[in-house]
Chain A
Amino acid sequence: DGGITQSPKYLFRKEGQNVTLSCEQNLNHDAMYWYRQDPGQGLRLIYYSQIVNDFQKGDIAEGYSVSREKKESFPLTVTSAQKNPTAFYLCASSYGTSVDTQYFGPGTRLTVL
């Protein structure tokens, strides 16, 4: 079955630690995205990538980093510089630009202890 997988589903981190969230897709989509969702809020874009080895900052990129070495994979690292990292993180992909429909993974809930 084609789709987007994210792992782990739940993640706990101590303050000061970096942590990497995984996102993999087998839909053959060119574009991939990372969003952050806080309680009672909509989604906000962290980073996106339209092609391998290229990515762009979204609205709230500070304290995060990404890589896009393979078409299928777009991992997100939450660094210790991110002041308030506890949130729900959603990965998405689409054929091309944002005007194409974005399909979402199941999400990772990160909690900083």
Chain B
Amino acid sequence: AQKVTQAQTEISVVEKEDVTLDCVYETRDTTYYLFWYKQPPSGELVFLIRRNSFDEQNEISGRYSWNFQKSTSSFNFTITASQVVDSAVYFCALSERNYGGSQGNLIFGKGTKLSVKP
């Protein structure tokens, strides 16, 4: 069955520290997509990245980087030199291309709350 696990419920770091948010997924499909979203205190979900199952290259965008490893079914997210503005809840999500149920189903993890203290 589809499942996304974010084992870290809350993380607290001091500004300028590096922090990694873990995401482990389960899927029946060979074609799937993984996403990360950021939810600041205002509540709106902000899209960060989309990755398909055939592209295992790591990606870097500024202070953000993502490590996708199919062998361990993980899609971890690292923030380098964290800043107070990075404080938010971060969600990992999974979508399968050939899921037999509702095609609208984006499966979310429960989120990791990151607090960056000055």
Contact = CB atoms under 8 A, between A and B. Distances in A.
Given A42-B110, A42-B111, A97 B44 contact: no
Interface in B80-118: 91, 93, 95, 97, 102-106, 108-111
Interface string A90-113: 101000011101111111010000
Contact of A105 (B44, B47, B93, B105): B44
* Contact-residue size bin, chain A (C-beta under 8 Å from the other chain): 20 to 34
B33 A99 contact: yes
B108 A99 contact: no
Interface of A: 31, 33, 40-45, 48, 50, 56-59, 88, 90, 92, 97-99, 101-107, 109
22 contacts: A40-B9, A40-B110, A40-B111, A41-B110, A42-B93, A42-B110, A43-B108, A45-B104, A45-B105, A48-B104, A56-B102, A56-B103, A57-B102, A58-B102, A58-B104, A90-B45, A98-B105, A98-B106, A99-B33, A103-B47, A105-B44, A107-B43
A99 B97 CA distance: 6
Interface of B is mostly: loop
B91 A98 contact: no
Given A56-B104, A98-B105, A88 B110 contact: no
Interface residues of B, number: 25
Contacts of A88: 43
Contacts of A44: 108
B103 A50 contact: yes
